[in-house]
Structure 1
Amino acid sequence: MTEALFTPYSAGNIDLKNRVVMAPLTRNRADNDTAEVNELHVEYYRQRAGAGLIITEAAQISPEGKGYLQTPGIHTKAQAEAWKKVTDAVHAEGGKIVIQLWHVGRISHVSLQPGGAAPVAPSAITAEAKTFTAEGFVDTSAPRALEADELPRIVADYVNATRLAKEAGFDGVEVHGANGYLLDQFLKTGSNMRSDAYGGSVENRARLLLEVLEAVTEAWHGGNVGLRLSPFSNVNGISDANPQETFAYLIPKLNRFNLAYLHMIEGTTGGSRDLADGEDLDALRALYTRTFMVNNGYDRAMALEAVDSGSTDLVAFGRPFISNPDLVERLRSGAELNRLDSKTLYGGGAEGLTDYPTLSERAAETV
């Protein structure tokens, strides 16, 4: 009998051949000036088209939304044309691919911002976090608070990116509302000290994210739009006085958008899955009525059990997909995984990006 993890599934309007998802993974190999992807990206994603769904590395929706060196964009026609080579390659292999839409907010540095400007944020509170620049990992710069009349421009940037993604041949988009970036900064109390309609109450703090989803799902059907959240993660210096309350308010509001999926990071991003007293993922899960995707530290046994039990529909794997382009095949057969080389995660060329061997390539080497 085929385990449920390896059976087809329809996530909104996106038909998947299995329930294994490649999570978004920043790799810092785009052109730093144009933010265009290149042939390395084409091969990297093509190799991993065995996933039921690929979510690309985050792509900034505007020059202001950039927070790290050599990250790709999706705000110009040229960027969309470069991405089209990626989507064509993935589709030729029978895969499906969505692009993650990103505005980093305060997780940036003046050297990465147009004209050396200060990064933007809900409030002028510097993050206790690092970012990656030409000088290596450095402290993030002090941000300035966005004016209320600037927020429609940011919503419009998400819409422009969505339209360009559609032109680029993606199967959908994922709005990045997690990991301490702009939309998460508005949601959480530690980074949002505003006194206007976008700060204070949970209704106000959730307003920008809901406005973005409203606009994006008008530009492309909700069945082609996903959303990523990280209720209990403290990465990038993010914090909330009562995350259970914040997300118990937000999540039921998502049901009306008929999204392709809700992508939830369990615990701390890339870290512990443990939750503090009063934090309850199951209670949040029960508030969402559509396709649910889990993420954070899953191995084969955990993924099989999660889907078989019905607690989730899809399971996202991050770093295992970096070192195992044929991860789905390895999970299906229980084969050993390649070891990840952490030194080649960020920046560089093909090494650590496209040179990890598949099972069949390993077998051929031993003949």
Structure 2
Amino acid sequence: MSFHRFVEKHWVKRSILSYFLLPFAFLFSCILRIRRSLQKLGILRSYRAKSYVISVGNLTMGGNGKTPFTILLAKALHSRGMKVAISHRGYKGAYEHKIRLISNEKSIIKDAQLAGDEPLLIAENLPGIPVIVGKNRRAAIQYLDAVIIPDVIILDDSFQHLKVTHDFDIVLLNAKKPFGNGFVTPAGTLREPVGILKYADCLVLNDISDNQIIPYKIQKFSKTVISTKYEIETLVAYKNNDSHSPESIKEAILISGIGNPVSFEKSIERIGIRIITHYTFPDHHKFDLEKDINPIIDKHRDAVIITTEKDFVKLSKFYFEIPMYYAKLKVAVQEEKQFNTLLDTIMKDRKQ
């Protein structure tokens, strides 16, 4: 059984294993609630940055679209004249346990093994906006405050990171399974109990379907709830970075190492491309040419490969004998008026 099938069977859905782990999940939930309460009471101290800090995070483990939304938010604030910087952990990158500015106004460290796949993807989509990586968020923020002096710092994947004070919390939920199987880890995919959402300033329901209504059980947690829809804007060729219309490709092999491979499949199917097969790898997978890629190419000499933009920043260093493209996503906010109100609120709070 693949890792993704295991997650689907035991964490996204309920099984004998998830019920067996429920007592441990209950104990973990109690610890998390106490931790949150101590932080809100000021007993568990957190660092307050000089800049305005926005947290973009998850309630569940796995892919919930934080990276595309972080890019969207940063562009929107930047277009309104705000000086924005991004802080990312840099998971599985060599700089994860250091503090390193991988992107500034002049250059980008274009090496996913050093920077991490998600920070590099963010940096390439936000030219001129500083991106810093490092697990120690306090040290990263102190560096940005001292050297970059931004108006706003966006912390990617930090809703559970309480060592730094958040001025504004945005939590992303998957529209199909917002709470997984409803159990906290290790019995499910929830990082914290659902009730923790009351501390969020804004909830974003990601990858919503046409005519899907935002459920009341989500709306009740926050005054501001918006939804987004992901669409493949174009397919970009590996060899020359040329954009191609999806209509030019009838069928393809998929390769991905992301948190939600099913969402990637659905987006490919929506643009009319038949999926021959999908080779899935763990999230943030470090691809090996001989072990991972060459066997796929040898088996599908006449096929076309499509991958995600996140995976492309790692795969682009290899030579592909067959056509390969990455899917360039476009994030569309369904409630544009509410999103603009959200931006106005952030800018108003920042000036106070």
Q: Same fold (TM over 0.5)?
A: no
Largest Rg, 1 or 2: 2
TM-score of the two chains, using structure 1 as the length reference: 0.30
What TM-score, normalized to structure 2?
A: 0.31
Higher strand share: 2
